[in-house]
Chains A and B, each alone.
Chain A
Amino acid sequence: MIPYVNEYDTPECNTLAETAKKSIRTPASLGLDRCIQCGACTASCPAARFTDYSPRQIVKKVMENDRSVLESEMIWSCFYCYSCNVRCPRNNSPVTIVQVLRQMAINEGIGVEKLAYFLEIGEYLAENGASKVPGAGVKNMERDLGERWIRFKKNLESTRVELGLSSRDIRNTNGEVQAILEATGYFEREKWIKAKIQEKRLHRLLKNQCINKENKSGDFSFESDREYSGQPAFTI
């Protein structure tokens, strides 16, 4: 399948940096070229705290135009919490750069399996004008949250009425949201993503059912801060 073209999120440019700067996802003032690799972003990052993820390294890869970053599992660990955004002293925004990288990865069919979970959101929005936790998420939540939550969900409509609200949160969008999703290419892209997921599943099935899963939790050819022994201490 040919790569998907996603004009505004990932405008075609010569370098990753140019694409990131031009993308609708990043601020116009993006300070990517101003990055001084200070690491304030990584120091502030919840994902870096608990995994090997590092926004500073991601920014470095982008500045070096190293497209292998798109294949890295790392880009899928960001919380979109914007802590790096607020802390960066150079008005760079690793969080929005990661958003662009994920979109670029998706266009090439990388990581699309991860979206399978959330695709329902679009259809539900078109129909009801509101979003909801997708079905698979609801199943997870039922398993995690147990009886109390299931009971509350069952009673949601009557609870809402008790509170003086309409029984269901459905918006009156007059088909306009549906039309916008249609015309901005949402459904076309959703179809492409679904087909891509299928294709990948089939491919994997045919190729190797029994090869051990690569361990994807590690460091992905990123320089590792841990291996850097540092400069020898200056002693007087």
Chain B
Amino acid sequence: MKAIESIPDSQLLLFKSCMVGQEYPGVETSTRYVFDRLGVDYCINDKQSCCTGIGHYTDVFEGLTTTAIAARNFAVARSCGYPNITCLCSTCYAINKEACEVLNTNTEIREKVNSIFREQGLENLVYEKDDMNPRTNFYHAVEILLSKVNEIQKQKKFDFSGVKAAAHHACHYYKVKYLDVLGNPENPQLIDTIAAACGAEPVRWYEDRTLTCGMGFSQLHLNKDTSLQVTKTKLDSLQKAGVELMIHMCPNCHIQYDRYQPVIEEEFDVKYDMVHMNIAQFVALSMGAHPYKVCGFQTHSVPLEEFLEKKGIV
């Protein structure tokens, strides 16, 4: 298990996420807003590419391609002096961490990847064993937030007291490399702890707390019915628990819940009362960020206007 004291606050490469960039760009700006105020030493580097997660988990990329792309991004991180890869997306987190493990432990693959780099004249990308450490060089942005929870509380400008909030902890954070996570994957409290520090009232034990969001990479497109049924199961239990706000830590889950909630309402003839936010948007809001100029709520499918007005934020 990861120790909270071991989470770094410097030399973080804030790893850009494609799905954040294209669907919820406010998650990136919110994270930056919060990191800036917490004095976190981070950098964003345009040379960093997509982790390949979308292609890898829709089965179109081979493991070798994924590993080589990861090695390239590790070189980008190291060469700019920010080797602690900090992801906004749980799939980027899992892909990078796994690729690092493969590169360190599988000599055949490491040599293959390096020979490809050499052949292509990309010597600068060559990865030597243990250039990165799968345990200490890879983080999810929410871990950084948790490690700074006291500071967040101190800087809190807006209190979410009385807001019934529920967390959806991402599968690719908690269930892939499950021995190296903050807390217990069967009883994750990462988001709840941060939400509570901002005054919200976390709903801890709702049914199917650890159920996946239902996106399932190709599943949303190939088996849409099952995909939406899974999502509906979770939304139903949140509705039953009287949840007003659902907080996420992954843009894929965010798309599935926020974009597809109205679709499920229509297709299954149901009605839900909750709105959705990423944890970084939530923390930024509580630290005084502008809901539209920083948090980017205008890109959401479930409108937040009513919620923000009711809580006195706008």
A contacts, CB < 8 Å to B:
6-9, 23-25, 28, 46-47, 49-51, 76-83, 85-86, 99, 102-103, 106, 114-115, 117-119, 121-122, 125, 129-133, 136-137, 140-141, 144-146, 148-149, 152, 155-156, 159-160, 162-165, 169, 171-174, 176-177, 179-181, 183-186, 189-190, 193
With A163-B293, A171-B48 as given contacts, are A136 and B120 in contact (CB-CB < 8 Å)?
Answer: no
Among candidates A8, A117, A140, residue contacting B218 with C-beta atoms closer than 8 Å:
A117
Candidates A114, A115, A121, A169; contact of B54 at CB < 8 Å: A121
Question: Does B61 contact A83, Cβ atoms closer than 8 Å?
Answer: no
Cα(A80)–Cα(B215), bound, Å: 9
A174 touches B47 (CB 8 A): yes
Asked if B153 CB lies within 8 Å of chain A CBs, one says no
B106 in complex: contacting residue of A24, A50, A132, CB < 8 Å: A24
Total number of B residues with any Cβ neighbor in A under 8 Å: 78
Return A217 CB to nearest CB of chain B, in Å. 10
A171 touches B55 (CB 8 A): no
A77–B223 touching, CB < 8 Å? yes
- B54 to chain A: closest residue by CB: A131
Contact partners of B62 in chain A: CB under 8 A = 6, 8-9, 103, 184-186, 189
Interface residue B160 (Cβ < 8 Å from any Cβ of A):
no
- If A102-B59, A163-B296, A181-B65 touch, whether A144 touches B263 (CB-CB below 8 Å) is yes
Contact assessment for A186 and B211 in the assembled complex, using a CB-CB cutoff below 8 Å: no
Q: Across the interface, do A176 and B122 meet the contact criterion of CB distance under 8 Å?
A: yes
B56 to chain A, nearest CB (A): 9
Residues of B within 8 Å of A83, CB to CB, are 171, 175, 210, 212
Interface check B6, CB cutoff 8 A: no
- Residues of chain B within 8 A (CB-CB) of A25 are 63
B105 contacts the other chain (CB 8 A): yes
Which residues in B have some Cβ–Cβ distance to A below 8 Å? 16, 18-19, 21-22, 25-26, 28-29, 46-50, 52-55, 57-65, 67-69, 72, 102, 105-106, 109, 112, 116, 119-120, 122, 125, 171-172, 174-176, 178, 185-186, 210-212, 214-219, 221-224, 226-227, 229-230, 233, 259-260, 262-263, 292-294, 296, 298-299, 301
State whether A184 touches B50 (Cβ < 8 A). Answer: no
Q: Which residue of A lies closest to B224 (CB)?
A: A140
Q: Which residues of A contact B49 (CB under 8 A)?
A: 125, 129-130, 171, 173, 177
- Closest A residue to B48 using CB positions: A171
Residues of A within 8 A of B67 (CB): 24
Given known A165-B25, A183-B119, A184-B116, contact A115–B60 (CB-CB < 8 A): yes
Instruction: Please give, as numbers and ranges, the residues of chain A lying within 8 Å of B48 by CB-CB distance.
Output: 171
Residue contact A163 to B26, C-beta cutoff 8 Å: yes
Inter-chain contact B214/A46, CB cutoff 8 Å: yes
Q: Which residues of chain A are within 8 angstroms of B210 by Cβ–Cβ distance?
A: 83
Docked pose: A140 CA to B116 CA in angstroms: 38
User: How far apart are the CA atoms of A86 and B94 in the complex, in Å?
Assistant: 14
Docked pose: A96 CA to B26 CA in angstroms: 33
- Are the CB atoms of A177 and B175 closer together than 8 Å? no
Chain A min CB distance to B112 (Å): 8
* Pairs across A and B, CB under 8 Å, 13 listed: A115-B58, A118-B60, A118-B221, A121-B61, A122-B55, A137-B221, A152-B301, A159-B299, A163-B294, A165-B21, A169-B25, A177-B72, A179-B120
How far does the alpha carbon of A125 sit from the alpha carbon of B52 in the complex, in Å? 8
The complex places the Cα of A132 from the Cα of B301 at a distance, in Å, of 18
Asked whether A165 lies within 8 Å of B28 as measured between CB atoms, the reply is: yes
Chain A residues whose C-beta falls within 8 Å of the C-beta of B63 in the assembled complex:
8-9, 23-25
Specify the chain B residue showing the minimal Cβ separation from A105: B59
Least CB distance, A26 to chain B, in whole angstroms: 10
Known: A86-B186, A152-B299, A165-B28. 16 other contacts (CB 8 A): A8-B64, A24-B106, A46-B212, A81-B216, A82-B171, A83-B175, A85-B178, A114-B222, A132-B18, A137-B221, A180-B68, A180-B120, A184-B62, A184-B64, A186-B65, A189-B62
CA distance A133 to B18 in the complex (A): 9
Q: A112 vs B149: C-alpha distance in the bound complex, in angstroms? A: 47
Q: Residue on A with the closest CB to B51? A: A131
Q: Are A106 and B59 interface neighbours, CB within 8 A?
A: yes
Closest chain-A Cβ to B215's Cβ sits at a distance in Å of: 8
Which residues of the other chain, A, contact B262 by a CB distance below 8 angstroms? Answer: 145-146
Inter-chain CA distance A199–B221, complex, in Å, is 23
Task: Check A122 against B293 for contact (C-beta < 8 Å).
Answer: no
- Residue contact B47 to A145, C-beta cutoff 8 Å: no
Q: Which residues of chain A come closer than 8 Å to B292, judged between CB atoms?
A: 162
